[in-house]
Structure 1
Amino acid sequence: MAFSWILMIVIFGLSAFVSWRLRSKFNEYSQIGLSNGMSGAEVAQKMLNDNGIYDVRVVSVEGMLTDHYNPEEKTVNLSADVYYGRSVAAAAVASHECGHAVQHKLAYGPLKLRSAMVPVLTVSSRYLQWVLLAGILLLNTTPLPLAIGVALFALTTLFSFVTLPVEFDASRRALAWVQTTGVVNQREYGFAKDALWWAAMTYVVAALGSLATLLYYASLLMGGRRSD
C-alpha cells in the first residue's frame, strides 16, 4: 500500500509538471504567427476538405484548451484562442482535432472502441465514488462493494489507455498533413510537433495516474481479504 501511495504522489507531481509545461508551450507558440496567416478555423476547414470530410462543422467553444472532436454531433470544437488564432499553436491544435475526424471517417479501431465505452463509463461514473466509499466503509464486513468499485475503476483505467493510441494517431495525422500541404514551414513544424508532444503527455500521465489509483484500491481490497 505504501508503494501505491508513493506512486500516486509521483504521478501527481508529473501531472502538475506536464500541465504547466503544456500551458507554457501553448502560450509560447501562440505568440508565433503562422507564416501563411491562416486561422485555426481555416486550418481545420482545409484539413477536413482535403480529407473529403464535408459533414463536420468547425465551431468555437468557450474556455482554454477545451478543444475536442465530437463524433456524435460531428463537430470540431475549438477554443476561441485556437479558432481565431493565427499562430503555430492554433494550427497544431486545430489539425490535431481534425485528425480525430479523419479517424472517425476511416473507422479507426481504437476510436471506435473508445466511443463504444463512453455510454458505459457515463453511467458508472455517476456511482463510482459512492461505490468506492461504501466499499472502504464496509471492507471489514464484506469485500463485495469494494470489489465492484475496483472493477468499475478498472474500466476507467482501460479507457485511459485506449485513449493513448487515439491521441497519438491524431497528432501523427495532423503533423503529416500540415507538413505535406505546406501549412507550416520547417521551423513551424518543429514547434507544432513539440506542442502536440506535450499535449499527448497529459494523456500518458492521466493513464498512469488512473492505473496508480486502481492499484491503490486493489491493494485495499487484497489487504481486506487477507485480514478475513
Structure 2
Amino acid sequence: MTYYLIVGITFLISLIVNTILKNKFRVYSKLYLDSHMSGKEIAEKMLTDHGIWDVKVLSVEGELTDHYNPMNKTINLSEKVYNDKTAAAVAVSAHECGHALQHRLGYNLLKLRNHLIPILNFSSRFVNIAIMSGLTVFYSSGGKDSLILKLGIGLFFLVVVFSLITLPIEFDASNRALTWLRNKNVVNHQEYHKAKESLNWAAMTYVVSALGSLAQLIYFLSIFTGDKKDEHF
C-alpha cells in the first residue's frame, strides 16, 4: 500500500497546487497592465532588449500550453496569453523568453536537459510497464530479484533526474523574466508582484512533480534494501 499512498498524496498535492495556480491566473487575467502591452508585445520587447532577433513569437491553442521550442527557436504562447494585456500574460510570456535567453547564453542545465529528452521519451514509454510487471514478479516469487523491476527502476531514475534538472531551469527562467520586468519598468509595482506570485505558483507545480517522483524512486529502492518479505505494494 505504500506505493499507492505516495502516488495518492502526490496527486492530491498536485491537484491543489494546480487549482490554486489556475485560480491565480484567472484573477490576474483581469488585472490589465497600465502599459497596455499584450503578451506577444512583452515577449518581443524582452527578446529585442536582449539582442535576440532569430526567435519568433507564435500563438498556439490551449490553456497553459505556453513553451519555448529550442529546435525551431519559437516562443509559443497560448491564445489568451498571446493576446491579453494582463499581469498573467506578462508573467508567462516573460518566463518563456527567459528560456530563450538561456538558450542564447548556452545555459548548461538547459543543454543537458535537451540532450536527455530523447532518452526520456524512450523511458516514458516503458517505465510503467516494466515497474508494474517487475513488482508482480518480485512479490509473486517471494522477493526474488527481478531483472524487469531493476530495469524499470533504472528507467524511472532517468525520469527523476529529468524532473530534478528541470527545477533550476524553471526558477532561473523566472528570475531572468522578473529581473527584466523590474529593470525595464515594463510593469508597475503591483503588476510586478502579481507576475512574481504567478511564476512562484507555476514553479510549485514542478517542485511537487519532482518531489513526488523522488519519493516513488526512494520507495522502489527500499524494496531491495529493506526486508523483502514485507508487504509494500
Question: Does the 8 A contact of 2:88 with 2:198 survive in 1?
Answer: yes
Relative to 1, partners in 2 of residues 1:133 and 1:6: Cα closer, same or farther, differing over 3 Å? closer
Q: Which residue does the alignment assign to 2:150?
A: 147
Name the structure 1 match of 2:164: 161
Which residue number corresponds to residue 106 of structure 2?
107
User: Which is worse superposed, 218-227 or 182-191?
Assistant: 218-227
Q: Distance in 2 between matches of 1:225 and 1:110?
A: 37
Structure 2 Cα separation of the partners of residues 42 and 8 of structure 1? 41
Question: C-alpha distance in 2, partners of 1:195/1:87?
Answer: 12
Aligned partner of residue 138 in structure 1, secondary structure: helix
Any idea what the Cα deviations from partners look like across 1:47-69, whole Å, max 9, x if unmatched? 11111111111111111011011
Q: Distance in 2 between matches of 1:94 and 1:181?
A: 15
1:114 Cα deviation from its structure 2 partner: 0.9
Unpaired runs of 5+ in structure 2?
none
Whole-Å separation in 1 of the counterparts to 2:68 and 2:224: 37
C-alpha contact 1:147 1:221 (8 A) present in aligned 2: no
Paired residues for 1:164-179 under 5 Å: 164-179=167-182
2:52 is paired with a residue whose SS is coil
- TM score, norm. by length of structure 1: 0.93
Aligned to 1:91: 90
Q: Secondary structure at the match of 1:136?
A: helix
Matches within 5 A, 1:206-225: 206-222=209-225
In the alignment, structure 1 residue 55 sits paired with structure 2 residue 51 = no
User: How far apart are 1:38 and its partner, in Å?
Assistant: 0.5
Q: Provide the secondary structure at the position in 2 that maps to 1:76.
A: strand
Question: In angstroms, what is the RMSD of aligned CA positions?
Answer: 1.7
Structure 1: gaps spanning 5 or more residues: none
**Residues 4-63 of structure 1: per-residue CA shift (max 9 Å, x gap):** 554443332221111011000000000000110000001001111111111111111111
Q: Is the 8 Å Cα contact of residues 123 and 158 (structure 2) preserved in structure 1? A: no
Q: Does 1:185 align with 2:191?
A: no
Structure 1 residue 219, shift from structure 2 partner: 3.1
Greater shift, 140-149 or 23-32, is seen at 140-149
**How far apart, CA to CA, are the structure 2 residues paired with 1:46 and 1:64?**
23
Listed as ranges, the matches of 1:27-42 within 5 Å are 27-42=26-41
Q: Given the alignment of the two structures, is residue 65 of structure 1 paired with residue 64 of structure 2, yes or no?
A: yes
